[in-house]
Amino acid sequence: MLISRVAGISLRGLSKHKMRAFLMMLGIIIGIATLTVIVSAGKGMQKKITKSIQSFGPNAVMVSAGGGKMFGPPDDKVTTLTLDDATAIKESIKGIRAFSPFTITLEQSIIYGNRNSTAPVVGATPEFADAWQWYAEKGDFISDEDNASMSKNCMLGRTVVRELFGDQDPVGETIRVNNTNFKVIGVLTGRGTSPMGMDMDRRVMVPLTTAMKRLFNVTYIGMIRMYIDDASRLDEVSKTVTSILKERHHITPPQEDDFRVTNTMSMANMAKGVSRTLGTFLALLSLISLGVGGIVIANIMFISVNERKKEIGIRRAFGATAGDIKKQFLGEALFVTIGGGIAGAVMGLIISEGLAVIKRMPVVLSWEPFALAIMFSTIVGLIAGLQPARRAAAMDPVDAIKG
């Protein structure tokens, strides 16, 4: 029998039971829609990770005070990392292009005229620029003189500029940080969002000495950032830094480290880990609904085969072979699953777009869900349809025609 004729029979069979066909499709629609959201969100996450790595910076190693597993800037109460630690690290590692110890606080209140905002305050040396590959887009960067004189000069990130100054040029203006007046000498280039989701353009940068002695009166630093010459040495440098600090802080095995060392690679891996966990969960959900959908289809097909016994008998009497009957029912299962799959992919893309708009989730819409939909639907259709189709084909024509 011609394949187009089989397809015609299957389609007609389905069109006579539209509600049933829709119910059969439902599980597949949900499963494939979920799968589509996974693909879209996964690709979005991938894009975000790539952006995050760019914002973290390549070839970078960071040391932060305080132990634990969290990334990002430390609590400003942690007192374990000192400038002497920084000097010791700088002297023992070769191939450092830029080396920048700095402090960072929680958000402080920043006032300009009658406007106010909040931002973390960073205390930095000029080398911060090279270590972060992060420069002044307007005005000057913090200089060695600023550090030597504990000057009350500062730089602002773009977000702070927008909130306090709007379109006005901030360079030369005076702002209040924690009740101390600072003169704005420069604006930092835009950096976007950190891998941790922090707005890196929301910050005020002052000389390291000013931050330590004048503003907060502390003897410790928060973090060290290194820019090394070779990405392949990231892990090696991280290990060396760890062993130096363990020795200096007298940390022996059962004790936990009181510092953390991260680098571009470990940052990327963590971000991937988060999206992988989410992806695995959604993939599981999708597989469950495809599995349940398949079972529903198989069951409805069995019912359908029994109800249509007479039809099968009539077809057999007029020359349908057992194979023709099998193809007909398998065809119906495949039309249901592939139809459901394509509908699910379309729905998934709509949901993904919705998430992007409403939840501001990073998503990337692509054609891949359709390929996946057709692949998975075909597999589910074949598995779910095969047994019912075999049962239909195995019916004895004489019995079947009695109904």
Partner 1 sequence: MIELKGITKKYTKNGSPEVSVLQGVDLEIRKGEFVAIMAPSGMGKSTLMNIIGCLDRPSAGQYFLDGTEVVSMDDDQLSRTRNKKIGFVFQSFNLLSKTTALENVELPLIYSTEDVDLKAKARAALEAVGLGDRLDHVPSELSGGQQQRVAIARALVNDPALILADEPTGNLDTASSHEVMNIFRKLHQDGRTIVLVTHEPDVAGEAQRIIKMKDGKILSDERRAE
Q: From the CB of 8, what's the least distance to partner 1, in Å? A: 8
Q: From the CB of 370, what's the least distance to partner 1, in Å? A: 31
CA 195, CA 192: separation in Å to the nearest integer? Answer: 10
- In the complex with partner 1, the residue whose CB is nearer, 1 or 303, is 1
Interaction site with partner 1 (CB under 8 A)? 1-2, 5, 8-9, 12, 16, 310-311, 313-324, 397-398, 401
Running DSSP on this structure, what letter comes out for residue 213? I
Q: From the CB of 343, what's the least distance to partner 1, in Å? A: 24
CA distances (Å), 75 to each of 40, 72, 397, in order?
35, 9, 80
- In the complex with partner 1, the residue whose CB is nearer, 191 or 326, is 326
- In the complex with partner 1, the residue whose CB is nearer, 1 or 375, is 1
The residues near 280 (Cβ < 8 Å, ≥ 6 apart) are none
If one counts every other C-beta atom within 10 angstroms of the C-beta of residue 92, the result is 11
Is the dihedral angle over the CA atoms 173, 177, 179, 180 positive or is it negative? negative
Q: From the CB of 321, what's the least distance to partner 1, in Å? A: 4
Amino acid at 259: F
Q: From the CB of 396, what's the least distance to partner 1, in Å? A: 8
Nearest to 128 by CA among 143, 149, 110: 143
- In the complex with partner 1, the residue whose CB is nearer, 12 or 47, is 12
Tokens of 285: 């959900």
Nearest to 102 by CA among 62, 133, 71: 62
Q: From the CB of 328, what's the least distance to partner 1, in Å? A: 10
Residue 139, CB-side half-sphere exposure with 13 Å CA sphere: 20
| Long-range Cβ pairs for the range 316-321 (8 Å, 24+) | 316/395, 316/397, 316/400, 316/401, 317/397, 317/401, 320/1, 321/1
- In the complex with partner 1, the residue whose CB is nearer, 9 or 41, is 9
- In the complex with partner 1, the residue whose CB is nearer, 8 or 95, is 8
- In the complex with partner 1, the residue whose CB is nearer, 225 or 326, is 326
Strand, helix or coil for residue 66: coil
For 113-198, strand residue ranges (E) read 115-124, 136-139, 153-156, 174-177, 180-188
Q: From the CB of 330, what's the least distance to partner 1, in Å? A: 16
Q: From the CB of 335, what's the least distance to partner 1, in Å? A: 17
CA distances (Å), 142 to each of 21, 121, 165, 208, 386, in order?
70, 13, 20, 9, 73
Contact (Cβ atoms closer than 8 angstroms) between residue 182 and residue 154: yes
- In the complex with partner 1, the residue whose CB is nearer, 1 or 274, is 1
Residue that the structure tokens 């005005």 belong to = 139
Q: From the CB of 289, what's the least distance to partner 1, in Å? A: 31
- In the complex with partner 1, the residue whose CB is nearer, 146 or 311, is 311
CA 68, CA 47: separation in Å to the nearest integer? Answer: 28
For 91-222, strand residue ranges (E) read 96-112, 115-124, 136-139, 153-156, 174-177, 180-188, 204-207
Q: From the CB of 323, what's the least distance to partner 1, in Å? A: 7
For 196-335, strand residue ranges (E) read 204-207, 223-228, 259-263
- In the complex with partner 1, the residue whose CB is nearer, 111 or 401, is 401
